[in-house]
Structure 1
């Protein structure tokens, strides 16, 4: 072996050795950030929602406080720059010179936390994704050996963050591939695999539990046509969600005074949550309540009106939250909306067609299908859904509904909130 080959071999050995070490560090920091943000948000959201249930005016006061605090933090602490969500990662990975600045970690962490606990109808997932992506970006900047691997290290942070939030390393790696990277190579698999594995270890060490405890009892083959119907309905509704987000962001951008955006946003959020408290925050509290009684739910007029109100209003309040300055994205809203569409469809089918389907199963399928259609990532949605219930018995039905939902949405509208171009038509 000549000297050039020896040097090349040594270079690759050192590079991969350092990649392994930095991946462990990224995985640890990203998982720790995600777990802390998740625990803090769940704790304080529950406290404030209980207060608002007892004093109706708090449904207006809390969003006003949350959006105002975020505005002043951005103006005086975070360089007067609004968070763009996943788009920030795209801008960084497509241009080598760009990087995610360090302040993006506290910016997304704090703003995502404040948005949700004060009733903003979104979730902490996108805030976590950008914050953990920034950890990967910073790691890349610290070592010249990693100049060609910025995207991979950013994906490592993203994969670890998603793993920690949803208890699924497969969902973390697949999200990094389907949404962020769009390509796979040896370095991608190495760093994302290590970072996600470290995140799983952190989940066990800190005794984290799956998001939902769901008593599933299998599924029936005769329900396959109904699964396809659910996928199609959810795919259509995901287009409504996407267009709502884009529409309200455009309209609010035309309001010059930010104080007016906050006041209008507060009014819409307050009225909506006063009518339907299930819309408060990311809405996981409402999903947990319905999981317990899903199989015993009867289709009464009040149930139908409530579910339809939730399904139609959630995209609007999510869009208004984001347009008026809140931090977050469509991850949690998609899971929330999908659960209620699935439950309503199952109860409707059982009531009017004696279909004999299992409503709880349809809730779970709806979660995955709506997320799949909203972000065009069916395999991420598949493993994420199985992860949040810590159960793979619905693997095939979830896969089917995720694929049907995605392709239905794509046929109706080729963009998501991540891929939309300002030149495209709404």
Structure 2
């Protein structure tokens, strides 16, 4: 102990905090994961309390909404303040006011705090050595409280994850830790926040290590994430109470023939996930073209959210209370159409008994109506979420994905009940849809399955969850909700040095000249529209561009070209490949090592790199070729055991 203390003294006799408390190995890293978990649990507790009180004042007291929380969440157990009651029409302006406040806070103090928060975490892990601005978690939390409590559609996992991740990054900075330890603490903080708020210690850990890749997991950080997540869960639960987030009735499936409908649910989740991602990304791109100040855009996005919420308030906010009612089977769908007619002024004092399609013996028609209601709720939730977060609002996407998946599960479950002719567990389909939908859009099948089981406090639904989640994941392999995700660890700068660099340094491009290709090559004088049509045939997105003399000209990535449909018609026969090619990317020579070629590919975010020899273009080398060569040489150079 004394030796460590004296070794922490600087030459001038002063004390070095970072030297004494630095991370010296796995055991000290685990200790800091425990500390990170404690802070994550406390942060989740404070955030959940702040959000609950804000929703009590705005949604419950002002707008008159009820049951805005799930059965296991904290809620303000007071009667709404009647002096503040304005009624349902307050929903027309509450999302606008919330968006205005959120937009100003984010614009004024931290522009990085807008959006989901998860994408910025993933980007920080891959490209910023796990560094997070300390003010981002605070600003993100405040902005999200205003967004959700005013009726904006989103989830609360974004700021909670950032609280833990920001503290983990801060610990790494204070202890002068390296990039690897900082990335681990970043994920550990994320796991702590998720494990606490969703009462899911294992699910939070798996989500944090799985969300950074599309086809891989950050296995090195799994144990630290489990330590942090369990610690945060214990801290949060000791203050908030133990138990599952959602209270559910008896669940399960009665017969194997129900599995057919679970498979159908997987397909439906895939199709709906694709629609959500396209809608969300379209709104992000479209809002960037608006000729309004940045701080005003979330308020503009709040206008359609308020209009939709006025007619169907079930699809605004977190939607946790509505999901709870669906799981318990207490939601009266017959009231939905009556409430809608009353809102638009076409009917007054409609009773539920009068809505059941005017006849008690038309139960089949009632089930069809319920299926349509479920699908309508899912569609409108996609719209309100896209308008809320896509325009710059601050909230997470995990919460809306649970809602949308639950609605799709409810629709398919009701359809199964209608066709099979016996009482199918609708709650089971709802829960499976919740897990499968997130597994597809976030490329996190394991995390989606485990998270749902822990949210409800039961693993009884694990078999259908596995079937539907894997089905959705396989179908959704081209869907990317988080743009910063990498395919595998070999595509991440975080693991660039994990490969045997000496082996890559020994191999020159001239040694593997037979691997060079010339398929995705185009002349600069070709029309861009023709290239886009031909690209489908070879399934390529990155092209080598040559000038009319066959010399290297530049690179072209179709992924980075965004032309609006109306503009495309006008420029179809005008834009040449050479007009949009990137001439800043320089080719490599035959004397370049595979290590430098690999580094160049990562720096330019391309899947191929051109090769020249004394100014003459030879071909290109793909990222996949380097990986294949590396593993081939690794196998052949491995010593044979005696």
TM-score scaled by length of structure 2: 0.60
* 2:378 corresponds to: 311
* 1:277 corresponds to: 313
- Please state if 1:56 is matched with 2:123: no
CA distance in 1, matches of 2:417, 2:332: 11
* 1:3 corresponds to: none
Where do residues 24-103 of structure 1 align in structure 2 (5 Å cutoff)? Answer: 24-50=34-60, 51-53=62-64, 55-78=87-110, 82-83=114-115, 85-96=117-128, 99-103=131-135
Kindly state the Cα deviation for residue 224 of structure 1 after the two structures are TM-superposed: 1.3
Where do residues 22-421 of structure 1 align in structure 2 (5 Å cutoff)? Answer: 22-50=32-60, 51-53=62-64, 55-78=87-110, 82-83=114-115, 85-96=117-128, 99-180=131-212, 182-186=216-220, 188-206=221-239, 207-220=241-254, 221-258=256-293, 261-293=297-329, 299-300=366-367, 303-354=370-421, 356-410=423-477, 413-419=478-484
Kindly state the Cα deviation for residue 90 of structure 1 after the two structures are TM-superposed: 2.5
What's the secondary structure of 2:329's corresponding residue? Answer: helix
Contact 2:103 2:296 in 1 (8 A): no
**Greater mean alpha carbon deviation, residues 78-87 or residues 320-329:** 78-87
CA distance in 2, matches of 1:296, 1:83: 34
CA distance in 2, matches of 1:68, 1:396: 45
Q: Against the structure 1 CA distance between its residues 18 and 261, is the aligned structure 2 distance closer, same or farther, given a 3 Å change threshold?
A: same
Q: Against the structure 1 CA distance between its residues 419 and 13, is the aligned structure 2 distance closer, same or farther, given a 3 Å change threshold?
A: closer
Contact 2:99 2:299 in 1 (8 A): no
Contact 1:213 1:389 in 2 (8 A): yes
CA distance in 2, matches of 1:184, 1:124: 24
Contact 1:23 1:153 in 2 (8 A): yes
More strand by share: 2
CA distance in 1, matches of 2:179, 2:211: 22
Kindly state the Cα deviation for residue 263 of structure 1 after the two structures are TM-superposed: 4.7
Q: Against the structure 1 CA distance between its residues 24 and 303, is the aligned structure 2 distance closer, same or farther, given a 3 Å change threshold?
A: same
CA distance in 2, matches of 1:80, 1:163: 24
Contact 1:294 1:360 in 2 (8 A): no
Contact 1:67 1:324 in 2 (8 A): no
CA distance in 1, matches of 2:370, 2:473: 28
CA distance in 2, matches of 1:424, 1:155: 33
Bigger Cα Rg: 2
Contact 1:15 1:145 in 2 (8 A): no
What's the secondary structure of 1:57's corresponding residue? Answer: helix
CA distance in 1, matches of 2:447, 2:561: 26
**Greater mean alpha carbon deviation, residues 134-143 or residues 208-217:** 208-217
Kindly state the Cα deviation for residue 39 of structure 1 after the two structures are TM-superposed: 3.4
Q: Against the structure 1 CA distance between its residues 404 and 341, is the aligned structure 2 distance closer, same or farther, given a 3 Å change threshold?
A: same
CA distance in 1, matches of 2:217, 2:456: 28
CA distance in 2, matches of 1:380, 1:43: 30
CA distance in 2, matches of 1:424, 1:288: 43
Kindly state the Cα deviation for residue 416 of structure 1 after the two structures are TM-superposed: 2.2
Deviations 1:144-187 (A, max 9, x none): 2444312111010011111002111211111111113754455x
Q: Against the structure 1 CA distance between its residues 424 and 302, is the aligned structure 2 distance closer, same or farther, given a 3 Å change threshold?
A: farther
What's the secondary structure of 1:257's corresponding residue? Answer: coil
Kindly state the Cα deviation for residue 81 of structure 1 after the two structures are TM-superposed: 6.6
Q: Against the structure 1 CA distance between its residues 406 and 324, is the aligned structure 2 distance closer, same or farther, given a 3 Å change threshold?
A: same
Number of corresponding residues: 414
Kindly state the Cα deviation for residue 409 of structure 1 after the two structures are TM-superposed: 2.2
1:423 maps to which of 538, 548, 560: 560
Q: Against the structure 1 CA distance between its residues 261 and 76, is the aligned structure 2 distance closer, same or farther, given a 3 Å change threshold?
A: closer
Contact 2:118 2:482 in 1 (8 A): no
**Greater mean alpha carbon deviation, residues 219-228 or residues 200-209:** 200-209
Deviations 1:189-213 (A, max 9, x none): 3421221221232134222432200
Contact 1:246 1:417 in 2 (8 A): no
CA distance in 2, matches of 1:239, 1:424: 20
Contact 2:402 2:435 in 1 (8 A): yes
Q: Against the structure 1 CA distance between its residues 295 and 230, is the aligned structure 2 distance closer, same or farther, given a 3 Å change threshold?
A: farther
Q: Against the structure 1 CA distance between its residues 291 and 111, is the aligned structure 2 distance closer, same or farther, given a 3 Å change threshold?
A: same
Deviations 1:336-383 (A, max 9, x none): 011111112111222244264211111111111111112110111111
What RMSD over aligned residues (CA atoms) do the two structures have, in Å? 2.8
* 2:12 corresponds to: none
Q: Against the structure 1 CA distance between its residues 253 and 133, is the aligned structure 2 distance closer, same or farther, given a 3 Å change threshold?
A: same
What's the secondary structure of 1:144's corresponding residue? Answer: coil
CA distance in 1, matches of 2:330, 2:116: 36
